[in-house]
């Protein structure tokens, strides 16, 4: 969890109203024109309130995520309501300074206060409380959902593993469909009401709807940012199209025409992931003949007797190798690293900054496998970023934009190469695959990275349509599957019930986490990788580069992180990569050998859907 109430990339608003905001009144109590001193006092008070109450609220949300009960949910709803009321009050308070010639940090902070609400409530009585009650309820409904499998109740984190390991298409369809009917249909009306309230709040702040509010946090006009997203997708879509074509053919060879036809879209439940967002679990089907890698990272971790804690310790070691300070003792004392046996928790992996200083933590139901090994490196990236910018003004304590926060850890995880596994003792030098196996290594990574790109894009495209009113509640599910087919080329395994609300089956929808950040991060992490490898003097293929142990790269990397959100994101991007534009060319370069392989394999196939 990032900053709860600061900056344009806040996830949830949690703080309490702390009295009248600074204004300018004369001796008789009448309003008088605001001054520059008033504006500075307003921002100073906002920062103090946000800083104080974020710490309090972070503790409340931490407890609720780790002890999901009626009472903790009540507490979370209450603090959420107080936060939303405060956020609306401060955002509306910025209007009194709109005609002042604000410059520099003061102007940037004022803008970020106005845009820092993820789900704003209107200022009318009761709206914030109703909104907070709905959002807390949606989150709890998702996290506590279970389904019945062979007479046993099974939770989501266990179902995720099953979706990646089971191969019986009928059983996969059962898991897939039951999960989406466990709690998501009950979310539908609450979600629609939430949209109504938040849109009213966004309009009160001067935005057309919540979608425009979300797009306003990227240091450019919202419409321009939407176009930028489409430009980036255009750069990488050809790579995805070839991977889709190849993967579909391999699934057809394995399952036959009755399950997966040779042409058209792919069945969503057979892609090895609950949401078909990454396909890495299909490597056994997709591995190139003669180029398969000779080791399985999960097996290596198990044989080396790794525990969840040791996985986190090794992840910390990567950042230490770059010259960054070790994690504080409180991280180890207060993080949740394994799933408790005696209570229900939110298992979705997350990184927390409790006090805007040194109380950083992760929360994971960590399993000893390759996927969670990468996730550990990712989540720690959030923590190191949070600690790097702790010296910034409170409003600037966030990523340069929300995609930066997600890209940091994934960029580090790109260095989980065979050479890195040798350096940490999981592989012998003799086990490093030679270049003839590179296609296998790239295929394995593309099934996670390239396959994700359209999913990362369409999640918010769906919400933008919902917030704008283009998609109405009765069409939520239809529009969802239209976008999934358009961008991903996937379809459900069967007809969906009239009451289905399949978007609610993905955490970030009921959790109200903007998702564009993930699409942007998958673009930017390869930009970071290319820049870092060039700084390290690497001259080989980009996919073989690991920056483990390079303190010079680490110093420049940390300098970018220390900037937080104090400057427009192009400044932060330039500080590390030397360029001011997000660019998909690095990911295209990274997978260039695989692209040639895919084109050759697909030359006699009918691609597209």
As annotated, the active-site residues are 348-349, 378-379, 382, 406, 508, 518
Place of tokens 């995880």: 413
CB 139 within 8 A of CB 510: yes
Q: Are 183 and 269 in contact (CB under 8 A)?
A: no
Q: What is the residue-wise DSSP string for 348-417?
A: S-EEEESSSSS-EEEE----SSHHHHHHHHHHHHHHHHHHHTTTS-GGG-S-SSHHHHHHHHHHHHTT--
Q: Report the candidate in 542, 471, 527, 564 with the shortest Cα–Cα distance to residue 236.
A: 527
Non-local (6+) Cβ contacts of 180 within 8 A are 500, 502, 504, 505
DSSP state of 336: B
Please, what sign has the CA dihedral across residues 362, 367, 368, 370?
A: negative
Q: Which element (helix H / strand E) includes 523?
A: helix 516-535
- d(Cα 127, Cα 387) in Å, to the nearest integer? 35
Non-local (6+) Cβ contacts of 165 within 8 A are 281
Q: How many other CB atoms are found less than 10 A from the CB of residue 342?
A: 4
What's the rounded Cα separation, in Å, for the pair 388 and 357? Answer: 9
d(CA 326, CA 308): 18
What is the rounded CA–CA span in Å between residue 398 and residue 377?
19
Tell whether the torsion through CA atoms of 383, 384, 385 and 389 is positive or negative: positive
Please count the CA atoms within 13 angstroms of the CA of 244 that sit on its side-chain side.
29
Say which DSSP state 98 is in. Answer: T
Q: How far is CA 598 from CA 95, 433, 591, in A?
A: 54, 20, 10
Q: Of 477, 443, 432, 480, which is closest to residue 458 (Cα–Cα)?
A: 480
Dihedral sign (CA 280, 285, 289, 294): positive
Using alpha carbons, select from 91, 81, 116, 172 the residue that is nearest to residue 4. Answer: 116
Cα-based torsion angle of the residue sequence 240, 244, 246, 249 in order, rounded to the nearest 10 degrees: -170
What's the distance, Cα to Cα, between the start and end of the chain in Å? Answer: 37
Exposed / middle / buried, residue 104 (Cβ in 10 Å: 0-12, 13-18, 19+): exposed
């Amino acid at each position: 969890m990032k900053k709860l109430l600061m900056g344009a990339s806040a996830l949830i608003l949690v703080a309490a109203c702390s009295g009248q905001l600074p204004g300018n009144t004369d001796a008789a109590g009448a309003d008088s024109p605001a001054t520059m001193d008033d504006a500075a006092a307003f921002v100073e008070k906002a920062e103090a309130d946000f800083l104080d109450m974020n710490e309090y609220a972070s503790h409340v949300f931490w407890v609720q995520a780790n002890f999901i009960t009626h009472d903790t949910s009540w507490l979370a709803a209450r603090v959420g309501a107080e936060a939303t009321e405060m956020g609306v009050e401060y955002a509306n308070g910025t209007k009194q300074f709109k005609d002042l010639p604000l410059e520099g940090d003061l102007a940037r902070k004022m803008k970020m206060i106005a845009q820092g609400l993820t789900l704003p409530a209107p200022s009318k009585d009761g709206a914030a409380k109703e909104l907070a009650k709905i959002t807390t309820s949606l989150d709890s409904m998702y996290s506590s959902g279970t389904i019945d499998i062979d007479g046993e109740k099974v939770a989501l984190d266990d179902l995720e593993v099953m979706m990646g390991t089971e191969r019986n298409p009928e059983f996969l369809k059962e898991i897939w469909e039951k999960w989406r009917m466990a709690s998501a249909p009950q979310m539908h009306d609450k979600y629609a009401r939430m949209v109504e309230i938040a849109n009213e709040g966004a309009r009160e702040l001067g935005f057309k709807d919540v979608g425009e509010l979300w797009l306003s946090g990227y240091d450019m006009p919202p419409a321009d940012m939407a176009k930028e997203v489409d430009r980036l997708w255009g750069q990488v879509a050809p790579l995805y199209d070839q991977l889709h074509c190849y993967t579909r053919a391999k699934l057809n060879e394995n399952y036959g025409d009755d399950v997966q036809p040779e042409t058209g879209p792919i069945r969503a439940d057979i892609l090895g992931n609950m949401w078909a967002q990454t396909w890495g679990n299909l490597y056994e089907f997709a591995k190139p003949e003669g180029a398969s890698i000779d080791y399985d990272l999960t097996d290596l971790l198990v044989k080396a007797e790794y525990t969840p804690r040791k996985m986190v310790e090794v992840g910390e070691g990567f950042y230490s190798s770059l010259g960054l300070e070790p994690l504080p003792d409180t991280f180890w004392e207060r993080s949740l690293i394994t799933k408790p046996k005696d209570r229900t928790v939110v298992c979705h992996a997350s990184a927390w900054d409790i006090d805007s200083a040194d109380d950083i933590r992760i929360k994971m139901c960590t399993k000893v496998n390759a996927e969670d090994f990468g996730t550990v490196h990712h989540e720690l990236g959030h923590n190191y970023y949070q600690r790097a910018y702790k010296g910034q003004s409170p409003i600037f304590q966030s990523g340069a934009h929300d995609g930066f926060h997600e890209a940091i850890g994934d960029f580090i995880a790109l260095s989980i190469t065979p050479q890195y596994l040798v350096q940490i003792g999981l592989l012998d030098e003799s086990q490093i695959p030679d270049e003839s196996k590179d296609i296998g290594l790239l295929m394995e990574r593309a099934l996670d990275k390239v396959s994700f790109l359209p999913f990362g894009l369409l999640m918010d495209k769906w919400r933008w349509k919902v917030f704008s009113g283009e998609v109405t509640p009765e069409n939520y599910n239809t529009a969802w599957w239209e976008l999934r087919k358009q961008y991903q080329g996937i379809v459900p395994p069967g007809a969906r019930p009239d009451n289905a609300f399949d978007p609610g089956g993905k955490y970030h929808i009921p959790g109200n986490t903007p998702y564009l950040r993930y699409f942007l991060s998958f673009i930017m992490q390869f930009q970071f990788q290319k820049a870092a490898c060039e700084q390290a003097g690497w001259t080989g293929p980009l996919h073989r580069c690991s920056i483990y142990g390079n303190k010079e790269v680490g110093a420049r990397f940390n300098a970018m992180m220390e900037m937080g959100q104090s400057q427009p994101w192009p400044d932060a991007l330039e500080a590390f990569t030397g360029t001011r534009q997000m660019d998909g060319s690095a990911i295209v370069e990274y997978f260039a050998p695989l692209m040639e392989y895919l084109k050759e394999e697909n030359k006699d196939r009918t691609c597209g859907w």
